[in-house]
Amino acid sequence: MMICVPQVLSKNEVADFRLLMDGHAWEDGRSTAGAQSADVKSNEQLPPDSELARKLGNRIISALTSSPRFVSAAVPLQIFPPLFNRYAAAGGHHFGIHVDNAVRGDRLSGLRIRTDLSVTLFLSEPSEYDGGELVVEDLYGSHEVKLPAGDLVLYPSSSLHMVTPVTRGMRVASFFWLQSMIRDAHARSMIFDLDTAIQELVQRLGRNDPETVKLTGIYHNLIRYWAEV
């Protein structure tokens, strides 16, 4: 299941992020890659342990927990501190086909998570660069993603994926992982579909409609049945 969440950050927030990031030193993106990923990764990133990366990451996490669509799709238990990267045409930057590590550890906090879902939050407008599409493969084929600045995409970390070469301009994004309370991807997809249907019923019938209340109870009981906390 791949889910897009619009306007996690406002255009003004994106502009503020970019201003702060442009004034900071960047490093080789391979420093956070696994052995296989490092062979196909060519980009730059903000130093993950830097004060700026942590500050901006906390702002993203705060925005995410205020996003009903994100919470509904992810049912997050733990969110890894967001990282930040950029792909420049001048450097021929790209990230070849790979799969994310199953477990990620954060050196500063000691947090360790199972990577159920991967997240890319776009910080460049599509008009700012050519190429740089996120390509995610699943059972139904390959899907290209290139969203407006401030929007994010959420997809299974088990998916093979890549970032195509940037041929003009600069692609800037935040990327990170999360561990969901609902480990099984199929169960998580059903939970999301049920919650979406309930919210549509709330709009039409009201929150206190008897059938809406009954379905809401089923939703919470399914989470209670499947959740790992």
Annotated binding site for Fe cation: 98, 100, 161
Bridge partners (DSSP) listed for residue 134: 145, 163
Quote the DSSP letter at residue 24: S
Phi, psi of 67 (to 5 degrees): -105, 105
Q: Which segments are annotated as binding site for 2-oxoglutarate?
A: 171
Binding-site residues sit at 98, 100, 161, 171
Assess contact for 91 and 41: CB atoms under 8 A.
Answer: no
CA nearest neighbour of 193 among 73, 71, 74: 73
* Nearest alpha carbon to residue 89 among 163, 10, 14: 163
How many other C-beta atoms are found inside a 10 Å radius of the C-beta of residue 49? 11
The end-to-end CA distance of the chain, in Å, is 22
Cα–Cα distance for residue pair 176/79, rounded to 1 Å: 8
